[in-house]
Structure 1
Amino acid sequence: MSAADDLPDAVRKMIGVPMYEARSEFPIEIGYVYNTCAAVGNGNPLYWDDETAQAVAGGRIAPPTMLSVWFRPHYWAPGASGERKAMQAHFDLKALLALPEAVVASNEASFGEPVRIGDVLTTCQIVRSIGPLKQTRLGTGRFWTVDVRSTNQHGDWVGTESYTFLGYRRPGQ
C-alpha cells in the first residue's frame, strides 16, 4: 500500500494543487527591511545604501531571507474576520488527518528575481507530498511538505519556501 492509499480523498485531492492564493497586504517597504536588518545586525550596504543597491541590484531590494515575512498576516486588519493563519494548507492537513500536534522538521528556500521595494507579491501553497504513518519519539504521525511559491506583480517567480512538517498525535491522545 502506498502512502496515498490510506489518505482521505479530501487530502489526496490537495496534493499538487495550488491553494490559498493571496496577495501581500501592502507593497514591500523599506521600513520592514531596515527593522529586520537592524534586529539581526545585517549591515550589508546592499540593503542600506542607495548607490550600492543601484550598482549591484539595479535598485533597492529586500533580503531574500525575508520572503516569508511578506505573507504572515497581521493579527488584525480592517474588514478581516476570523482567525488569520499563514500556512493554511498545513492546518488543513492537521485537521483532516486528525494529527493535532506538529513541528517544522525542515525548511528550504529557493530564490528567483529579487523582491524589490514597492513590489506586490502573490503566493500560493502547494502540498507536495504526504508520507505514510510512522512511529516517532513524539508520537504516531506523518511527514508532509508544503511549498509556498511567490511571484511579483509582473508574474516573475521570486522564490519558493518548502516546509516539511511532522504532524503527530502524542501517545494517549
Structure 2
Amino acid sequence: MTDDLPADVTALIDRTCYEEAADFPVERGYVWTSCASVENGNPLFWDETAAAEITGGPIAPPSMLSTWFRPHHWTPGQDEPKLPLQVHFDLKKRLDLPEAIIAEFTTVFHEPVRPGDVLTTCQRLRSVSGVKTTKLGRGRFWTIDVEYRNVRGELCGVESYTGFGYNRQNAQNRQEQSA
C-alpha cells in the first residue's frame, strides 16, 4: 500500500468484493468434455468406483475451479456482460491505467469441487504498489485474490492474480525523449 493511492482505492484493500454464486451447478458433462478435450483419462473423473475409493465420490479436476464462473457472452435478461476479475477492471478505470497485463498467477487448492456443488466466489484486493516504470509503461502492480467456496461453505481454492496496469503513452514519450 502506498500513501499516494486515492482513499477509495486504499479502502478496497482486504475488503470482500463481488460476492456471487455461480449461474449453474458443477456438472459431470462439463468435466467429461473438459477431460476429453485434453485426453485426460484420470479415473478420478471417469470411474465412479475409483472416485469413491480415492476421494469419497466424483470430483471435478482442480484445474476447472474457475470454469464455473466464466461468464457466458450472453444470458437472457442481462443488460451488461459480466467481466471476470471485475476488481482488476475497476482499478484500471479508477487509476486511469487503460492497459494491463497479468504478470503472475497462482492457484492454491483446498477442498475438491464435486458435481452438484453451486460454488460461490468473492474477490479481494490484497495490495497496490506505488507508481513503477517498466518497459511497458508507467503504472502500478496490484494483487487480487479470488476465493471459491462450495455449498457447505468450505474453501475450495484461491486464485491470486498480480496485474500491472499502465499507461502505454508514458512509455512511448520516454522513448521519444531519449532518442
State the TM bucket, normalised to the shorter chain: over 0.9
Tell me the equivalent position of 2:137: 139
Runs of 4+ with >2 A deviation = none
Tell me the equivalent position of 1:156: 154
Counterpart code for 2:127: S
- Structure 2: how far apart are the matches of 1:125 and 1:48? 32
1:6 is paired with a residue whose SS is coil
Tell me the equivalent position of 1:38: 36
Q: How big is each residue's C-alpha offset from its partner over 1:36-76, in whole Å with a ceiling of 9 and x where there is no partner?
A: 11122211111111111111111110011111111111111
Give the alignment partner of residue 75 of structure 2, picking from 71, 74, 77. 77
- Structure 2: how far apart are the matches of 1:108 and 1:146? 11
Alignment of 1:121-132 (within 5 A): 121-132=119-130
- Structure 2: how far apart are the matches of 1:21 and 1:170? 32
Tell me the equivalent position of 1:95: 93
- Structure 2: how far apart are the matches of 1:110 and 1:67? 10
Tell me the equivalent position of 1:62: 60
Give the alignment partner of residue 18 of structure 2, picking from 13, 20, 25. 20
* Structural RMSD (CA): 1.1
Query: Which residues of structure 1 form unaligned runs of 5+?
Result: none
- Structure 2: how far apart are the matches of 1:135 and 1:171? 12
Shift of 1:151: 0.7
Shift of 1:29: 0.2
Counterpart code for 1:31: G
Query: Which residues of structure 2 form unaligned runs of 5+?
Result: 173-179
Aligned residues: 171
Counterpart code for 2:64: M
Counterpart code for 1:16: D
Deviates more, 1:59-68 or 1:76-85: 76-85
Tell me the equivalent position of 2:3: 5
Higher Rg of the two aligned structures: 2
Identity of aligned residues (%): 53
Shift of 1:171: 2.8
Tell me the equivalent position of 1:113: 111
Counterpart code for 1:120: V
- Structure 2: how far apart are the matches of 1:162 and 1:36? 23
2:101 is paired with a residue whose SS is strand
Counterpart code for 1:90: H
1:4 is paired with a residue whose SS is coil
